[in-house]
Structure 1
């Protein structure tokens, strides 16, 4: 591992997470405090067998005299939790002022707590790194009464460096210098030592903790960094507000430490709904005797003003931030195409559109076909019988779902498309503040730029868009980051010199002409040409196959990319390449989504990216990915292979107002050249699936909102 300075940005990261609005989400008031200094469920240093509430996301910053740890933990299922940690230890090794380490943890609760049985969990700590915190454990936790929790367990590796009672063979001590590779040969080998702990929940805010630690801090004591006078540690935790927990500890009989944790749960919004106005009620049709002309359908022959109906419909939908793209009409059928600009849940936009249609059309119109359009391409048609809409307005949403049909627009739309006049050409622009942050920098705790971002979208016609964005930095220090090129002459610097693109105060982020179509049943396409992203220009083409009702989709993307100049927005460097991937996507159910991409990456390497994400009905999404290519771990460098952790936060949770927009956070330990892909806006799968049947059904409860 090459020299890196200490990351002291844990508190900054917690503050940034809070700033994007996640304080709006709730967390269990007691369980969320049971986090140790490693950022996982535990006592002080030792783990426990407890689990956080399903889907809870916690960020922890723990500090002692010579070390600090920043940890992100996600309760991926009711029993499985995953953690990513970044730590710095001063004077831990001769070649470093501060030795920094990235590590991953995996924990699974084998059994939950019963009347007489304790909860039992098995865990791997730092299971794929350079081994600084490497250890395994088996823990049992039992609650006694309303306030006392007792934990006991057995530790291996670092968690067996004090008080070992027996051994399970010789533990492997060879580590991969670049890290990032599972240390399988080490797991549950070597000495085994017991640990124990107590937690006394004094009240809803305050908890007192004590433990017998099996970690002797061997390297730290040998280097004179820590004095371990006793294996006993003591502490107190206090819950500050709804999401924050502050803890202080007396450690090893010689030192003090502190911990700050922030916990949220995307499954449970603290403030349900938003500030939007209530929708219009469904208009009940009059009896046939009261409107015989309207029920007969002769009105369409008698010169009823269909363009007038279309204009009124357009105006009413615009008030809901829904753009009417086309409206076709017969005596019994109305077909509309809409662009949802107001709601994160497509079902909510569908429900409001259907209500407005019930008020706009004569009574003989029985069938409503609502097709959602994105980037000019029709994605999904929802077919609603008007009589069902009238009958079920005050019934549970599930009954309305059972009476609704979904189909590909190529099959559902039977009438000639009548486009709304005046939609094209259309110029839209925006100005907004931006913050771009970089963590895990070699020389600085957190680097960030802040400024103004401007974006222009010019809709030239159906599916044809010209768009671009410019950023202007007002303040920040990303330009001070040192370039980090790889040392292998056979691997081009396709991402590792990204810091060169931060030197100018103004930057053309992208400028593209994009064309989206739905050329055949279940087939969608995209062609994008121009400055595709900050570092590359070229041409990107994509085709996606996906049936509306299917959880499976396939896609192919082929790109020609040429590296852009560092400063001149329209100049290029010498490097160019053809890249592309074949992709398979699958909705695993219960909010889990898997993706496999296989193909050629920016550095010319061939390989596969595996992704798994969990999405919640309120729009939150948490997941990660790993990429393996024919670049060897040694040639890839520190980290061994590309991997990352990502969080998607719906804008409506920041603004507390309906919006389809989202904020994406990508957390990765290092930027390397292996496994690098283009960052092209408007890729098809996420756009298409969000408007299709499985996603609509998952959030159908918002149809009547």
Structure 2
């Protein structure tokens, strides 16, 4: 143990004097960090701060200092909570202080920070955090930190750290007064890595850290920092640590892009690039949608008028809907009510599809029609019934609060039955040719692997609810077929031989299925899928979902029998089959958060549960994290200890500004192993139907008039 050095007190004293002279916090970016540190955490240079970034922000930071490159993906989960996934390329690193030097290592880790006290007029903000929450422990450290904004230009930070953050200038842990065990930090067991090391948290010596941030203008940030990290694993190997002082300058090239240069530990230069975006802020503003059709008021008397010929009305409605990217599945008249059943392959927001269909009907329906019922479908299944009055459409189109008034006068209910399929849509055949990209991020052997090529797809729907699909990939470029170390898993190789599928053939039949979607009862949805279900498995999958219109809760059950496909990704199979299945519960929390629990049997025959927490935005963005624990021990699972990762869904229309229902879906895993591996069946019911239900329509009803 040693006392904090004089430079620390110099920085702390300077910050205190500047703060006292500046007085209470002035107007500025209240509660928002001014930058990311080199570990991707909102903060100073190497040290964290107490402020988070803007709610919902997703930031990517890549930093480099001698023999270390760190990639970090950070999500501001809420105004107070942020999480980071970090992938580091390390050369000449010691696994443990004083141990032998390893020539290189790829290290993966998660961090979590929570601001438990907001900044006040005179009170700083306080946050608590854990670095390397789930990882190898190389960056293991915990902290409590306070930050205070003294003016729009000046901010100071003071913190207390443990682990790596308590390794320079350390002193006896003050938490030892609560329990003597806090005075000693147990050795972190490496094992297969990727596990929780909770017994080490906030234990051992503690040390102070701190710094000052100054923004002379909106473009620049200058930082001086006292670091409590002694870099014992790197000192004398990767570089020589000569001083605890760090100095840095950030240049904000734009609202999203920042370049940083640092002078670190009295011996090294460091660089960092940061890019941040917020899913709440579309790149194209309100979008590049074509103007919707106008509402056509009824001319003359509102009394009955002669009916149009049924066939002519169907043809005119089908043509009008096709101009809006919608398809007519069925049409029926019932007195003064006109009912239509539609499919939507264009608009990611169901409320927008509903509004466009309603507008189109005003120019087609006979004058005596007073109400429109629009039934929304997915995979040919009726999902929701939207009943609205024609007079409201005519009266409210240009009203300043048209959306609110229209929703108040509209009824949204379940649509358990279909209209007669007389819209001329079935049988339907579509085909396309598109580029594809298949990435793999941050695996143990390579930061990035990616294949790209051309995908041919086809879909045939002979009748409502029956869908035949095929997708063929032709690889043109990529390195997904490269591997450094073949799988050594003691479990059946249900996922760890994935590279062999990329190696087997450049032409892959990734999907060839027949699926039947059905409504077996009120609030119930069913699916049966047969064929080549995904790249690695074929078989039979069945699912039943209970999802009421306005319920936050949904329950599902899935049963599968599946057989492993041959490595050439065509029609052959290997000698491995397994029955799997899960019971699932889904719950929508406030603020766009969604939780999911799946309990059952996985592809390797192991049993357990997967917990998923995600945040969803009204525009279709979705960022989540998941973890799976089964009866497979961490030793048998291998590197990573258990399956976990991050999932991203990026709607294409957010990028292009044009209506588009497709999205980019990717999963980032620290490592892909065999334990906790689940079948990837296309068209699972929860994601299929919920976007067309009342809860989703309510959340995005503002798009009704767009």
Q: Same fold per TM (> 0.5)? A: yes
Matches within 5 A, 1:369-448: 369-395=373-399, 396=401, 397-410=403-416, 417-421=420-424, 423-448=425-450
1:24 aligns with none
Name the Cα RMSD after superposition: 1.7
Q: Decide which moves more: 441-450 or 134-143.
A: 441-450
Provide Cα deviations, 1:669-688, integer angstroms capped at 9, x if missing partner: 11100010111111110111
1:605 equivalent in alignment to 2:606: yes
Conservation of the 8 A alpha-carbon contact between 2:31 and 2:119: no
- The CA deviation at 1:478 is 1.4
1:473 aligns with 475
Matches within 5 A, 1:610-625: 610-625=611-626
Gaps of 5+ in 1: 1-27
1:499 aligns with 499
**Counterpart among 208, 229, 248 of residue 222 in structure 2:** 208
For residue 480 of structure 1, give the secondary structure of its aligned residue in structure 2.
coil
- The CA deviation at 1:29 is 13
1:322 equivalent in alignment to 2:326: yes
2:201 aligns with 187
Distance 2:101 2:493 in 1: 26
Q: Decide which moves more: 388-397 or 511-520.
A: 388-397
Question: Given the superposition, is the C-alpha separation of residues 442 and 551 from structure 1 closer, same or farther in structure 2, using an over 3 Å criterion?
Answer: closer
For residue 207 of structure 1, give the secondary structure of its aligned residue in structure 2.
strand
- The CA deviation at 1:385 is 1.8
Conservation of the 8 A alpha-carbon contact between 1:165 and 1:194: no
2:232 aligns with 218
Conservation of the 8 A alpha-carbon contact between 2:116 and 2:126: yes
Q: Decide which moves more: 158-167 or 86-95.
A: 86-95
Conservation of the 8 A alpha-carbon contact between 1:408 and 1:522: yes
Question: Given the superposition, is the C-alpha separation of residues 586 and 328 from structure 1 closer, same or farther in structure 2, using an over 3 Å criterion?
Answer: same
Provide Cα deviations, 1:542-571, integer angstroms capped at 9, x if missing partner: 111111121211111111100001116111
Distance 1:471 1:568 in 2: 10
Matches within 5 A, 1:343-382: 343-382=347-386
For residue 688 of structure 2, give the secondary structure of its aligned residue in structure 1.
helix
**Counterpart among 290, 298, 308 of residue 277 in structure 1:** 290
Q: Decide which moves more: 450-459 or 159-168.
A: 159-168
Gaps of 5+ in 2: 1-28, 95-99, 177-182
Distance 1:639 1:655 in 2: 37
For residue 701 of structure 1, give the secondary structure of its aligned residue in structure 2.
helix
Distance 2:102 2:500 in 1: 26
2:280 aligns with 267
- The CA deviation at 1:636 is 0.7
- The CA deviation at 1:359 is 1.6
2:68 aligns with 67
Distance 1:360 1:280 in 2: 12
Question: Given the superposition, is the C-alpha separation of residues 571 and 259 from structure 1 closer, same or farther in structure 2, using an over 3 Å criterion?
Answer: same
- The CA deviation at 1:388 is 2.4
Conservation of the 8 A alpha-carbon contact between 1:235 and 1:247: yes
Provide Cα deviations, 1:298-351, integer angstroms capped at 9, x if missing partner: x34xxx312211111111110110111111113311111111112111000111
Q: Decide which moves more: 149-158 or 263-272.
A: 263-272
- The CA deviation at 1:286 is 3.4
Conservation of the 8 A alpha-carbon contact between 2:512 and 2:533: yes
Q: Which runs of 4+ in 1 moved over 3 A?
A: 28-33, 93-96, 441-445
**Counterpart among 236, 254, 270 of residue 241 in structure 1:** 254
**Counterpart among 442, 460, 485 of residue 487 in structure 2:** 485
Conservation of the 8 A alpha-carbon contact between 1:32 and 1:263: no
Conservation of the 8 A alpha-carbon contact between 2:93 and 2:104: yes
Distance 1:293 1:464 in 2: 39
Q: Decide which moves more: 178-187 or 306-315.
A: 178-187
Distance 1:316 1:662 in 2: 27
Distance 1:444 1:99 in 2: 11
For residue 519 of structure 1, give the secondary structure of its aligned residue in structure 2.
coil
Distance 2:409 2:449 in 1: 53
For residue 688 of structure 1, give the secondary structure of its aligned residue in structure 2.
helix
- The CA deviation at 1:111 is 1.5
1:456 equivalent in alignment to 2:470: no
1:687 aligns with 688
- The CA deviation at 1:443 is 4.0
Conservation of the 8 A alpha-carbon contact between 2:31 and 2:51: no
Distance 1:655 1:429 in 2: 22
Distance 1:684 1:426 in 2: 22
- The CA deviation at 1:482 is 4.2
1:307 equivalent in alignment to 2:307: no
- The CA deviation at 1:404 is 1.1
For residue 371 of structure 1, give the secondary structure of its aligned residue in structure 2.
strand
1:99 equivalent in alignment to 2:105: yes
- The CA deviation at 1:661 is 1.4
Distance 2:512 2:165 in 1: 53
2:213 aligns with 199
1:175 aligns with 189
1:54 aligns with 55
For residue 515 of structure 1, give the secondary structure of its aligned residue in structure 2.
strand
- The CA deviation at 1:598 is 0.6
